[in-house]
Amino acid sequence: MADKRKQKILIADDSEMNRSILADMLGDDYDIIEAENGKEAVALLQKQAAQIDLVLLDIVMPEMDGFGVLREMNDFRWIENTPVIMISAESAPARVQQAYELGITDFISRPFDAVVVHHRVVNTLLLYAKQKKLMNMVADQVLEKEKQSALMIDILSHIVEFRNGESGQHVLHIRTLTELMLKHINQMTDRYNFSKSDIALISTAAAIHDVGKIAIPGEILNKPGRLTNEEFAVMKTHSQVGASMLEALPVHKDEPLVRRAYEICRWHHERYDGRGYPDGLKGDEIPISAQVVALADVYDALTSERVYKKAIPHEKAVQMILNGECGQFNPLLMDCLRELEGNIQEAMASNEIRDWNDPNMLRNLTEELMQREELSASDRTLQLLEHERMKYQFFADMSQEVQFEYTVSPPAVMISEWGAKHLGLDEIIRDPHHDPAVLASMGADSMEKLAGLLARSTPEKPIVDFDSVIRIGGGERWMKIIARATWSKDEPPVYTGAIGKAIDIHETRVKMAALEEMAAHDTMTGLYNHKFAKMRIQDMMARKPESNFALGIFDVDHFKQANDTYGHMFGDQVLIHMAKTLKRNMREGTVSARVGGDEFLLFFEYREHVDLAINRIFNSLIGTYESFPISVSMGVAKTQMLGTDYDTLFHAADQALYAAKRGGRGQFRFYDGDSCETLSLISPIDGDTQEEADTDAEKRSGGEDAGCE
Amino acid sequence: MTLQECYAALEGDYEGVMGRLRTERLVQKFVLKFLDDGSYNLLTSSMESGDYDEAFRAAHTIKGVGQNLSFNKLYESSHLLTEALRSKDIEAAAPLYEQVKADYAQTVDAIHAYQASL
């Protein structure tokens, strides 16, 4: 190895003695890291698989045994680049066999022999170092080769173009249009299912569709005005000539690119109705690649200026093609062109310049290379990745946030070190949807909801957030989870996982709840205020429109007198006393509120005998406070009679209250519909200005409904 | 007491371990380190609490270490105990456990004596 970095060896063995013996045997030539069980080993691999050059793995370990580690290494595909030597006294052939099947490179049995251990380690490392180096070389060469061959094609097609006197962009346009159409066809039908590499191959091959024109004499090729029949016959040979040139290639003629190019060269002047040339193929006898390029060629010929014609505007060109003025095309392709109509010009414009030094271009190519299974990432990429990971981990640790990464396949979630510790979970959790620790922490409902939100996101709107209660160390806390779904670059995109974080919002949330609670209550009595009571009542009625409800309003008789005689402080004490008495005597589910100076409201659902219920509450409110005799007047309205409009109910109860007062106070009345009084007795809080009714007689009303007089 | 005499006292294979670990310095280091190994304590506590899975792993570790250091007598008895525990044969494990205890005591006594003479 050229670099001076010490090779890193991970020793996973539950016995500290055994790890130590191995470490000593390997000496100072290696950078040794240790894991005392399988889970630790996997966690270390998760963090730095790219840096670990070799794993020495024991079989029998707590938490997760050596076979478990091997399975993880297979699932995450670390085993492809990180060799494993199994170390164990386990020498049962079936177990050894199983270990080899899981991808181990070698097996060392106990007792360790220093020389054997050393040799096996060195050999394995050498073998893999060579392999890694080769892979890097292949990767770099493929990159170089692709770059060069695309360059060659560009040069070649440019020569053809140049000789044709065509606009400099013809080849590029055809390539772009072909690519655009192939992608769109994939969306229209399952019939062809062009893979990414098919599309790349066809659109690259499209660039040399007119290579045969090299053999056409310049005076014909560049003749302004119409060709004679003879000249046209010569011109028409270019498709066959191009195909023959490719067929005659001494090497490479079986390469997929050349085979596609052959189809395209030979048949890009065929037409769907069989009236094209050179072979008069009909319908689907014409390869789809040639059909697509033919249409792209016609479109670009129409919209470009040539020696014999002016450029035709985009709309008109499309219309001419759709009208069949340039020969018949596959109806599917016509539909495709029609559907793409709006996108074509834009795509053409954005692709005018194609430059191999364009970093995006190289990046795309690199991405494509990375996706190829047979190639693994080159060292440079690994270093970049490692750098990113380091950066990520640093910020994750600093932020004191729970950060996570989720992959759909294999289903796994990785939690940042700090986050895992905070939640009391493992850093890597396989199959989190069925993991008891995760389910206990987050709850199955929240898990499902989050998974659903992510799966229903789109590549355009990949970010979701929602609040969830998370169990942390025996307590529960509100956390906001913000996650970004990751979508593949396929057509159509596939949901592959998510990254995200959970932020503790418990304090904020609790504070908000407290503020809401405060805003809903009358500060003096602790009862609801009128506004909030109204909301609650409307809500209750909306939930159970078929039920019977009663709304009562009462005030304290001679409250003004109490205020005047004993002062406002005393008056307040009376109100607090009333609120307490009311709360004590209410059935569960009753809404009570202070709605005015000394006016209170109560609202409840009943089945029958509402009069008895009202009577009970009414009586419970009578008594004395600090030798001040207390009685109330009350008006009651029922939804049974008035329906569920709040304002109607309130107004009716108010009227019944007025009637009760007029009837001599110290009584309750039900609103019975004979409205004859519209004067409201309800005063604003702290106001105390209404006229007192004129009699002090303490009449008690019975259960019968009393109308207002 | 020499290291060789120590191996004789604990009924181990001095030539064997020297053949594999190569230097007396290394053998001495690990023989002394054996006194700090927690596997035996883990074995006794898990045998007493009836946690036979844990006991199996502890016996397995003692066996591995014994094998690496060529403590042949301790290796033999811990090997038998490991196999009995692997197959959950608790009846067979009981006398084997007694044997491991005796062998462990013999091994540790020899190492202590060796340590005292250094």
Find out whether the peptide bond into B95 is cis, omega within 30 degrees of 0. no
Task: Give the residue-averaged pLDDT of A77-97.
Answer: 79
**What CATH number labels A7-138?**
3.40.50.2300
The domain of B72 spans 3-117
Q: Provide the pLDDT for residue A88.
A: 75
Query: In angstroms, what separates the C-alpha of B91 from chain A's closest C-alpha?
Result: 23
Enter the tokens of residue A144. Answer: 């170089």
SS3 call for A78: helix
Would the CB atoms of A18 and B70 count as touching at under 8 Å? no
Identity of residue B50: G
Cα A80 from Cα A511, distance rounded (Å): 52
Query: ω into residue A278 within 30 of 0, thus cis?
Result: yes
pLDDT beyond 70 at A543: yes
Q: Give the model's pLDDT for residue A649.
A: 93
Specify the 3-state DSSP secondary structure of A269: coil
Token pair 């569709």 is found at A209
Is residue A582 packed enough to be buried (19+ CB in 10 Å), middle (13-18) or exposed (0-12)? Answer: buried
Q: Which B residues 53-92 touch A at CB under 8 Å?
A: 54, 57, 60-61, 63-65, 67-70
pLDDT tier at A696, thresholds 50, 70, 90: very low
* Lowest mean pLDDT, pick from A260-269, A381-390, A420-429: A381-390
ipTM value, please give it. Answer: 0.78
Cα–Cα distance measured from residue A377 to residue A489, given in angstroms and rounded to the nearest whole number: 19
State the pLDDT at residue A34. 92
Contact A18 B16 (CB under 8 A): no
Strand order in the sheet with A30-35: A30-35, A7-12, A52-58, A84-88, A106-109
Judge: A110–B67 Cβ closer than 8 Å, yes or no: yes
Q: Is the pLDDT score of A620 beyond 60?
A: yes
Give CA–CA dist A369/A624, Å, rounded: 90
Q: Where are the domains of chain A?
A: 7-138, 170-351, 401-511, 521-670
- Nearest residue to A62 via CA among A86, A78, A39: A39
How far is Cα A272 from Cα A286, in angstroms, rounded to an integer? 8
Give the whole-angstrom CA distance, residue A562 versus residue A554. Answer: 17
Report helix angle B52-68 to B72-86, nearest 10.
Answer: 150
Say yes or no: B18 contacts chain A, CB-CB below 8 A.
no
**pLDDT of residue A353 exceeding 60:** no
Residues A251-296 have pLDDT tens digits of 777 778 888 889 999 999 999 999 999 999 999 999 999 999 999 9
CB contact under 8 A, B65 and A18: yes
Cα–Cα distance for residue pair A441/A500, rounded to 1 Å: 17
Along chain B (118 residues), what's the average pLDDT of each consecutive run of 10 residues?
90 88 86 89 92 91 90 93 91 92 93 90
CB atoms within 10 A of CB A325: 11
Residue B41: count other Cβ atoms within 10 Å of its Cβ. 10
pLDDT at A83 over 50: yes
**Distance set, CA A611 to CA A544, A608, A707 (Å):** 21, 9, 15
Beta-carbon contacts of residue A101 (< 8 Å; ≥ 6 apart): none
Looking at domain A401-511, what is its CATH homologous superfamily? PAS domain (3.30.450.20)
Taking the C-alpha atoms of residue A287 and residue A612, their distance in angstroms, rounded to an integer, is 90
Phi, psi for A564 (deg, rounded to 5):
-65, -40
CATH number, domain with residue B86: 1.20.120.160
Inter-chain residue contact B67 with A89, CB threshold 8 Å = yes
Per DSSP, the three-state class of A586 is coil
What is the number of other CB atoms lying within 10 angstroms of the CB of residue B15? 10
Neighbours of A547 (CB within 10 A): 14
The pLDDT, as a whole number, for residue A91 is 64
CATH number of this structure's domain A521-670:
3.30.70.270
User: What tokens appear for A604 in the block?
Assistant: 């409840």
CA of residue A418 relative to chain centroid, distance: 23
Is pLDDT at A4 greater than 80 in this prediction? no
**Residue A693 DSSP code:** P
Q: Which of B17, B26, B70 sits opposite A24 (nearest CB)?
A: B26
What's the CA gap between A109 and A91, in Å, rounded? 7
Distance CA B68, CA B34 (A): 11
Residue A30 makes CB contacts below 8 A (sequence gap 6+) with A6, A7, A8, A9, A121
Contact of A286 with A293, CB cutoff 8 Å = no
DSSP assigned state of A105: -
Report the pLDDT value the prediction gives residue A357, as an integer from 0 to 100: 41
Rounded Cα distance between A66 and A81, Å, is: 18
Q: How far is A690 from A454, CA to CA, in rounded Å?
A: 60
What residues of chain A lie within 8 A of the CB of B68, using their CB? 17-18, 21, 110-112
CATH class, range A170-351: mainly alpha
List of chain B residues whose C-beta atoms are within 8 Å of the C-beta of residue A114: 20-22, 26
Backbone angles phi, psi at A573, to 5 degrees: -60, -40
Residue in B15, B17, B20 to test binding to A, most A beta-carbons within 10 Å: B20
* Paired strand residues for A549: A605
Average pLDDT across chain A, whole number: 80
Q: Closest by alpha carbon to A262, among A202, A180, A330, A179?
A: A202
| Total domains in the fold of chain B | 1
Angle between helices A170-188 and A331-350 (to 10 degrees): 130
For residue A117, the distance in angstroms to the closest alpha carbon of chain B comes to: 10
pLDDT of residue A554: 94
**Which of residues A410 and A147 earns the better pLDDT score?**
A410
Query: B34 to chain A, minimum CA–CA distance in Å?
Result: 7
What's the first-to-final CA gap in chain B, in angstroms?
Answer: 8
Distance CA(A306)–CA(A161), nearest Å, equals 12
C-alpha B31/C-alpha B23 separation (Å) is: 12
CA-nearest of A664, A632, A643, A663 to A552 is A632
Q: Residue A154: exposed, middle, or buried by beta-carbon count in 10 A (0-12, 13-18, 19+)?
A: middle
